[in-house]
Structure 1
Amino acid sequence: MTRRSSDSRTVPADKAVQGGRLAKAKQFLQVAEDAQDLSDGTDVADAAVTLYVHAGIAAADAICARALGRHAKGQDHQDAIALLATVDRSAANALSTLLAMKTRAGYGHDPISGTTLTRAQRAARSLVALASM
């Protein structure tokens, strides 16, 4: 039997994978928030957004693992968004929001704004909360 192309962009994910990805999501979220709390006025928005993005990706994997028994793999983030949308459209929108920030926060030269930081925090928190349910 030939695998459908959408299946070839996923990997099987059991309860152990779900739990591991959820643990990483929580770690990234916690460190992003700790960095802001401990920054003593130093701008850490770019680092925090990068961590929020990673929290969202890991949470999306945990959500898909729980609901579908698989999660996205590979470099094409649109695959991860599409797979998550089959489970929860608002979660897919939150992941899309975060992934749109990834390159600028991690590789750009201009700093992330406070508004963008707040959007990233909200999106990551919502994904981690959903993954934790």
Structure 2
Amino acid sequence: MTARTDATARLEDARAFVEAAETIDTLNDAESYADVIATLAIHAGIAASDVFCLLTRGQHSKSENHADAVNLLKTAGGDSAALSRLLGEKTKAGYNVKSLTRAKATKCLQWAGKLLSAAEEKYGQP
């Protein structure tokens, strides 16, 4: 596999995660869906960051340490702040008993959207 091939697969993942999150957000306005929407957005942001790093650095982070992914994206020239904010919500959205708010889930979607847009722009460059 090449970095471009891997980036293609991760870009498809990022788009699918965003689409799923937006669909759930549109179809159900219950507060109880905030964690689901945020988790999908977080995974979209991670996948989009992988695309950016694969296309600029030829690699993406496979570390269990979120700081490593943020640092790699930063060295690649990507929006490491957006990824850091998303990853800061990951445990809260995915593992805590207390749910995130819909407002926070919306922010997660916005951050993921920024990362996805940057990945798509980078992917479109020769």
- Residue deviations 1:4-51, cap 9 Å, x none? xxxxxxxx9511001101110000011001011111546311000000
Per-residue deviation, 1:100: 0.2
Aligned length: 121
Residue number in structure 2 paired with 1:113: 101
Stretches of structure 2 that go unaligned for 5 or more consecutive residues are 122-126
Matches within 5 A, 1:1-133: 14-39=3-28, 41=30, 43-88=32-77, 91-133=79-121
Tell me the C-alpha RMSD between the 2 structures. 1.5
> Which one has a larger percent strand, Structure 1 or Structure 2?
1
Flag structure 1 segments of 5+ consecutive residues without an equivalent. Answer: 1-11
Cα distance change on mapping 1:50 and 1:83 into 2, 3 Å: same
Q: What is the identity, as a one-letter code, of the residue corresponding to 2:76?
A: V
| CA distance 1:55–1:112, shift in 2 (3 Å) | same
Contact 1:13 1:70 in 2 (8 A): no
CA contact (8 A) 1:25 1:58 kept: yes
Larger Rg: 1
Output the TM-score relative to the length of structure 1.
0.85
Runs of 4+ in 1 over 4 A off after TM superposition: none
